[in-house]
């Protein structure tokens, strides 16, 4: 009898584990269909030849990848590095990093403010933070355009007040892109920061003041180390979409200030070079992957040393 019982137990245990796999199947299927699958298709396309009117020819070709890094002169076939691409990649990374830093600078006080409100009022503030999400990003980008263009709100007011004579060129500059990206991505920084700050024991701040810490040291030696998980999460959530921004640089950067997203779009649209577009997309994924690995490892290392 007892042997039977043990056997039954064992069987039930195994069945339990199988059931759990079964329960996670929807997530696995979703990841497979929506994430891994498309990525593999993009990878496949990057090794095919471009079709005449877009699309691809089913023939193996490394031209797509070649064109990511090099450009061939159309007259004498000399090969040189694709400076334009490197420039765009580099400015994309720069702008995405700057956006992340700006979101952190503006997002931290915001999250701190919300986390220090009375508990019953916090959800109202969080709700207010999410309001911009209700409107399409394209419309918000055009709204910013309206504010900063030469005949826009800011320039008109400044000229009326006599502070400036001629309008300041803000639209179609890196400043405009940065402004737009910071505005759009700010909630993605505030929410994880808030989640961390909300768990922070504010008595630790009192303890630090009691032990002669200045305001700056309270922030740097106590608050920042303790909300590090939120800072990491927020930075990742902002950096990745910022790096692959498409709408904001298109609307606020004009045609000249391209980012990776616009470059990729160009290859799939006017450029009719899908393999190059696919190769650029994969390159972007690889950049993000390495940036994240580097960032998380470093952040973890610092945390580790602080933990002795």
Partner 1 sequence: MDQSSATASHGGAIGMHGIKKWFGNFQAVNDVSLEIRSNEFFTLLGPSGCGKTTLLRMIAGFEMPSEGSIRLDGAEIAHLLPNQRPVNTVFQNYALFPHLTVSDNIGFGLKMLGKPKAEIDAVVAEMLKLVHLEARGNNLVTQLSGGQQQRVALARALAPRPKVLLLDEPLSALDLKLRKSMQIELKRLQAETGITFVFVTHDQEEALTMSDRIAVMSQGQVRQVGAPWEIYDRPAERFVADFIGETNFLDVDVVDVGADRARVRLPSGAEIPATFPAGTQPSGKVTIVIRPEHARATASTAVTPLSGTIHDIVYLGTDTHLHVRLADGSSFMIRLQNARSGPCGYSVGEEVGIEISDDVAQILRD
| Contacts to partner 1 by CB under 8 A | 201, 203-204, 206-214, 217, 221-222, 225-226, 306-308
Pick the closer one to partner 1 by CB: 112 or 209: 209
Min separation Cβ 308 and partner 1, Å = 4
Q: Taken in order 171, 173, 177, 178, is the CA torsion positive or negative?
A: negative
DSSP string, 179-207: HHHHHHHHHHHHHHHHHHHHHS-THHHHH
Q: How far is CA 84 from CA 70, 126, 193, 257, in A?
A: 10, 42, 37, 11
Min separation Cβ 211 and partner 1, Å = 4
Asked if 115 and 198 count as a contact pair (C-beta separation under 8 A), the reply is: yes
Pick the closer one to partner 1 by CB: 116 or 123: 116
∠ CA 61-62-66, nearest 5°, is 145
DSSP state of 133: G
Pick the closer one to partner 1 by CB: 127 or 216: 216
Min separation Cβ 51 and partner 1, Å = 57
Min separation Cβ 228 and partner 1, Å = 8
Pick the closer one to partner 1 by CB: 14 or 301: 301
Pick the closer one to partner 1 by CB: 10 or 201: 201
Please state, as a whole number, how many other Cβ atoms lie within 10 Å of the Cβ of residue 92: 24
Min separation Cβ 201 and partner 1, Å = 7
């Amino acid at each position: 009898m007892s042997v039977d019982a043990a056997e039954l137990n064992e069987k039930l245990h195994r069945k339990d584990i199988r059931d759990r796999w079964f329960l996670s199947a929807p997530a696995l299927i979703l990841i497979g269909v929506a994430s891994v699958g498309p990525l593999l298709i993009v990878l496949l396309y990057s090794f095919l030849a471009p079709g005449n009117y877009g699309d691809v020819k089913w023939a193996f070709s490394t031209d797509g990848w070649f064109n990511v890094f090099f450009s061939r002169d159309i007259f004498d076939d000399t090969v040189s590095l694709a400076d334009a691409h490197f420039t765009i990649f580099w400015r994309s990374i720069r702008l995405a990093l700057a956006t992340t830093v700006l979101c952190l600078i503006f997002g931290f006080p915001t999250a701190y403010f919300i986390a220090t409100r009375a508990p019953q009022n916090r959800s109202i503030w969080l709700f207010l933070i999410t309001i911009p999400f209700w409107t399409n990003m394209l419309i918000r980008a055009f709204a910013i355009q309206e504010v900063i263009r030469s005949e826009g709100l800011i320039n008109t007011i400044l000229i009326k007040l006599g502070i400036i004579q001629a309008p300041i060129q803000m639209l179609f500059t890196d400043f405009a892109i940065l402004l737009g990206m910071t505005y759009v991505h700010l909630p993605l920084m505030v929410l994880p920061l808030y989640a961390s700050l909300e768990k922070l024991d504010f008595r630790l701040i009192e303890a630090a003041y009691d032990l002669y810490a200045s305001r700056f040291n309270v922030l740097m030696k106590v608050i920042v180390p303790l909300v590090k998980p939120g800072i990491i999460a927020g930075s990742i959530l902002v950096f990745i979409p910022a790096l692959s921004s498409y709408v904001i640089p298109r609307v606020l950067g004009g045609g000249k200030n391209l980012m990776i997203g616009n470059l990729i779009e160009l290859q799939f649209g006017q450029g009719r070079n899908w393999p190059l577009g696919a190769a650029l997309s994969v390159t972007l994924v690889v950049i993000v992957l390495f940036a994240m690995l580097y960032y998380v490892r470093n952040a973890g290392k610092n945390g580790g040393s602080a933990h002795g």
